[in-house]
Structures are given as structure tokens and as C-alpha cells.
Amino acid sequence: QVQLVQSGAEVKKPGASVRVSCKTSGYTFTDQEIHWVRQATGQGLEWMGWMNPDSGDTGYAEKFQGRVTMTRSTSVSTAYMELRSLRSDDTAVYYCVRDVPKYCSRGRCTRAYDYWGQGALVTVSS
């Protein structure tokens, strides 16, 4: 069965960096995009970016450009998200999600986040 298992909770000081891992299993890692979504306590879902595990291509939300890097290791079917220059408002649960194409027509496909990691709480505090 498909699983996305994330690394554990982290506590970081302002200005530091954090790397969250997302180990996948149950499917071919390079076949589907991985996206990252975060959620501050009591708040909604915020999209951060995507990565193609096959090519390594990435795309980031404008808000995080220059501060985030998404990478992967195909040998261990794991995606990584690094966020730098942490601030207190980066305190959130960070989710990796598998993004799959669903219905395709004329070169475009509807898509779906069909599997989510369990989330990794990152706390930024001095």
C-alpha cells in the first residue's frame, strides 16, 4: 500500500534551517510528483511547491522563493524539503503529498493529492 512517512518534529531557532524528509513506499517513486503543503496551528492549508522525482524539476510558491529547496534521493525513494532563514511564523505542520493525474483531455489532466504524509511539526522559537 502507498505510504508517505515523514521525519519527526523539530525545534529550531530563528534564522536556522530545517530539512523535512518524506520516505515513500508502495509505488514507483519517480512516477508521481511530490508536493509540500504546510499548516500553521489552527489555520488553513498553504501550498509551498512541487517536485518531479524523476527529473528533479521543482516549482515553488512565490512566497517561499529563495528560502525553500525541494530535492530527492531516488535510491531511497525519499523527498526532502529544506526551509532556510526560519522565522516564528514558519511554525507549522509540514506535509508531503503525492500528486497524481486523474482525467486527461487535450493535453491537460485533473489532478489529486491522493496520499499524504503524517505531517512534521516544525517549531521556530528563540
Partner 1 sequence: DIQMTQSPSSLSASVGDRVTITCRASQPISNFLSWFQQKPGEAPTLLIHSTSTLHSGVPSRFSGSGSRTDFTLTINGLQPEDLGTYYCQQNYRTPPVFGQGTHLEIK
8 touches partner 1 by CB under 8 A: no
- Is residue 91 within 8 Å of residue 125, measured between CB atoms? yes
Which lies closer to partner 1 via its Cβ, residue 9 or residue 45? 45
45 touches partner 1 by CB under 8 A: yes
Alpha helices in the chain (DSSP H): none
Q: x/- contact string, 20-39, with partner 1 (CB under 8 A)?
A: ---------------x-x--
- Is residue 47 within 8 Å of residue 35, measured between CB atoms? yes
Q: Using CB under 8 A, which residues numbered 54 to 93 contact partner 1?
A: 59, 61-62
Shortest approach of partner 1 to residue 65 CB, angstroms?
12
Nearest to 119 by CA among 92, 100, 98: 92
Nearest to 10 by CA among 123, 126, 95, 125: 123
* Binding residues vs partner 1 (CB under 8 A): 35, 37, 44-47, 50, 59, 61-62, 95, 102-103, 110-114, 116-119
